[in-house]
Copies of this chain bind each other. A is one copy, B any other.
Amino acid sequence: MLDLVHRPGARTGLWILGALGDIATTLIVGGLAIRRGLRPPTGMVTALPPFNALPLTRLDDLVIGGVDIREGSVSASARQVGASSGTFDATLLDALAKDLAAVDANLVAAPPLAWDAQAPEQARPALSDVVAELRTRIAAFRTRHRLDHVVVVNLVSAEPEPPALPTTAALAALEAAIAQDRRDQVTPSMCSAYACLQESCSFINFTPNAYATCPALQQLAQRMRVPIAGNDGKTGETLVKTALAPMFAARNLRVLSWEGFNMLGNGDGATLENPANRASKIRNKSGVLSQMLGYEPHAGVHINYVPSLGDWKTAWDLIHFEGFLGVRMSMQFTWQGCDSILAAPLVLDMARLADFAFRQNEYGPMAHLACFFKNPLDVEEMALAPQFEMLVAYAADHLERIGRCDPIRDHTTTQAG
């Protein structure tokens, strides 16, 4: 079991938008399995030193709830996800049956007020009703479980994005658009983020829908004095890219072309078949290179839906580069990872870190979480190593301050894995 430093008494809620998807299901199963000591916390960054010395919320004290536009239960989606991806089996789910049922009790499987942009006009409630309804649900969740704080994580599918919206720049414009039910100016994720922040929740956007953390919503986070972070979890090909590209830069090897092909077969893949939905993700994946290299190489990011792969993303990248005397060389890599398995622990990490930040009276964009995102808020740096150093420095700084304030504290730091 993950023997994390205890913060007695306090309880934190983790409210998931898109609670029946693959990542959500996997993080719920995994969080419960770690809590029960049935699995090690491999893959969780906060299980590593120095983070495991911080007084973060224990998984035991994390209450999970959420909403999804699909009907169903986590108990059911866990059976389906585990079987189709081969990542966890019936034996584990049997052992967690009660815990899963408890989470199911916190889910709103089919909310009366959907924020699905594709719903027919007449079937869609007013935006202000959507906001009110979501706030009501979160408030009820908080009250029912006597939670000190709720962290919301956005795990819905990639949305089509209008090219530019006046509502993203200023909170007043966004609030006016919601009041006037201007659905052409408010994306579903913006609407959700607005409600959550208004409800004083920390807000983490794991999706590529970057409008969910636009300047207007950052203003709101500042005003509500809650943390906000995003966008687009960095779990596979882009993760590798941000580890590798600095190597070429540090050797003055000129990248001529960097072509990446991503194949995946899960629901995410099906959604991304639609070029409109794929646009923001590809932009996030593409943008990282020029920042790290200092120039724009020919670069392509391709996403293909290959149903048989299911949740097992396979990415292949070809890097063509030029070295001394203009000689051209190449590198290629294949990444074969299970998307949900890679993403899920990071959501638990960020829920714990957002909750911690909130209790430290930190608010607004959380730059120290940059290493978790393809397109981090308020951070220029795209390379993984310095991003991770920012997180280590954040932890070291807090540990030092905690040490100063509380010299008799007994840190029971434990090893991950």
A43 touches B309 (CB 8 A): no
B252 touches A323 (CB 8 A): no
For window 25-55 of A, CB contacts with B under 8 Å fall at 26, 29-30, 33, 39-45, 47-48
For window 215-265 of A, CB contacts with B under 8 Å fall at 239-240, 243-244, 246-247, 250-254, 256-257, 259, 261, 263
Q: What are the residues of chain B within 8 A of A386 when measuring CB–CB?
A: 385, 389
B251 touches A45 (CB 8 A): yes
B252 touches A345 (CB 8 A): yes
A325 touches B251 (CB 8 A): no
A322 touches B257 (CB 8 A): no
Tell me which of A137-145, A191-199, A333-341, A350-358 binds B: A333-341
- CB-defined interface of A264-299 with B at 8 Å, one 1/0 digit per residue? 000000000000000000000000000000000010
- Judged by a CB distance under 8 angstroms, whether A318 is at the interface is yes
B298 touches A307 (CB 8 A): yes
- Given A90-B91, A257-B306, A306-B298, are A252 and B320 also a contact pair (CB < 8 Å)? no
Using CB atoms, name the residue of chain B closest to A245.
B243
A325 touches B30 (CB 8 A): yes
**Assembly CA distance A250 to B30 (angstroms):** 19
Using CB atoms, name the residue of chain B closest to A328.
B308
A251 touches B324 (CB 8 A): no
**Assembly CA distance A327 to B86 (angstroms):** 9
Interface size on A, residues (CB 8 A): 78
**Assembly CA distance A240 to B247 (angstroms):** 8
A309 touches B320 (CB 8 A): yes
B385 touches A88 (CB 8 A): no
- Given A90-B91, A252-B45, are A337 and B329 also a contact pair (CB < 8 Å)? yes
Give which listed residue, B45, B254, B257, B329, contacts A250 with CB less than 8 A. B45
Using CB atoms, name the residue of chain B closest to A47.
B252
Q: What are the residues of chain B within 8 A of A344 when measuring CB–CB?
A: 324
- Judged by a CB distance under 8 angstroms, whether A214 is at the interface is no
Give which listed residue, B39, B300, B326, contacts A326 with CB less than 8 A. B39
- Judged by a CB distance under 8 angstroms, whether A394 is at the interface is no
Give which listed residue, B308, B330, B385, contacts A256 with CB less than 8 A. B308
B246 touches A324 (CB 8 A): no
- Judged by a CB distance under 8 angstroms, whether A136 is at the interface is no
For window 79-94 of A, CB contacts with B under 8 Å fall at 86-91
**Most chain B beta-carbon contacts within 10 A, residue among A309, A326, A338:** A326
- Judged by a CB distance under 8 angstroms, whether A131 is at the interface is no
**Assembly CA distance A328 to B316 (angstroms):** 18
* Smallest CB separation, A65 vs chain B (Å): 21
B42 touches A257 (CB 8 A): no
Using CB atoms, name the residue of chain B closest to A49.
B294
Give which listed residue, B44, B309, B314, B335, contacts A324 with CB less than 8 A. B44
Residues of chain A having any CB pair with chain B under 8 Å: 26, 29-30, 33, 39-45, 47-48, 86-91, 239-240, 243-244, 246-247, 250-254, 256-257, 259, 261, 263, 298, 300, 302, 304, 306-309, 314, 316, 318, 320, 322-338, 341-342, 344-346, 371, 383-386, 388-389, 416-417
> What would 9 A/B residue contacts be, using CB atoms closer than 8 Å?
A42-B252, A42-B254, A87-B325, A89-B90, A240-B247, A246-B385, A247-B384, A250-B388, A331-B335
